[in-house]
Structure 1
């Protein structure tokens, strides 16, 4: 049987979670929409763990990104050890 008191607790938890999510995303959104375009010619460097991710990033980012694939060709991604 579900307690009547658990419903307000769930609602409060959802409100707190929504507030934390909004607080976390606000600085990201503010940074993404800044009007300073002096760095617009620079490429963004993106590190991808293995080839399919690197290929997807390259396709989505196009000429705006420089992709660094962390897994060399012929190496199993699960066996990769970073120094």
Structure 2
């Protein structure tokens, strides 16, 4: 449920929420939720969040790896932010 909420924040929030999202990432223990928070940050313009998201793969189990793949697919298919390939 928290991962879904983090994903929704990325869709609905403004970049003014980025400092709060960064705080949540630092405090979060669940890697799935952290991945969704990082995706939300990236979607709101925090370009460095994509590197943090990809670094989660270093310690990812199969479930988390699939989740991150789904996040990346989602980010590339969203029309509002097309810079993922360039980043």
With the length of structure 1 as denominator, give the TM-score of the two structures. Answer: 0.26
With the length of structure 2 as denominator, give the TM-score of the two structures. Answer: 0.26
